[in-house]
Amino acid sequence: MLNIAFGQSKYYVDSLAENTKRGLRQKVRRGEYPSFAPFGYLNDSRTKTVVVNKKKSVIAKQMFELYSRGDQRLQDIVDFLAESGIFSRSGKRLHISRVTSMLRNPFY
């Protein structure tokens, strides 16, 4: 009896995962961005696309320029972002790992 319940719950989880993946693939095919926009961009709810945030894109560009020079540590870039008023969604300073993932994001 317990095996039947486990089988049903596994089927439910598997079908839910497949439906979620299918929905995300459909969004991408329609040209929509299926997540939060990366730093320096905004989600346009009307067109469901990503548009440039004019104020934050300047800071993002400076962040990449600091990194590309090669003489700045990642902690220096975190400090630069904090001085520029860029914090996490919870209002805390960005962590080095978050800045690293931003710098490695192929979206940019």
Q: What is the pLDDT of residue 84?
A: 95
Q: Is the pLDDT of residue 17 over 80?
A: yes
d(CA 88, CA 38): 12
The answer as to whether 13 is a domain residue is no
Render pLDDT for 70-94 as a digit per residue (tens, 0 to 9): 898 999 999 999 999 999 989 999 9
Can you state the angle between helices 74-83 and 54-69, rounded to 10 degrees? 160
The structural domain count of the chain equals 1
Q: Tell me what pLDDT residue 28 has.
A: 84
Within-domain flag for 46: no
Residue 96 lies in a domain: yes
- C-alpha distances (whole Å) from 60 to each of 36, 47, 63, 99, 105 are 16, 23, 5, 11, 12
Task: Decide if 64 is inside a domain.
Answer: yes
* Domain boundaries, position 83: 52-108
Q: Is residue 15 part of a domain?
A: no
Average pLDDT over residues 13-17: 92
> Tens digit of pLDDT for each residue in 46-58?
888 899 999 999 9
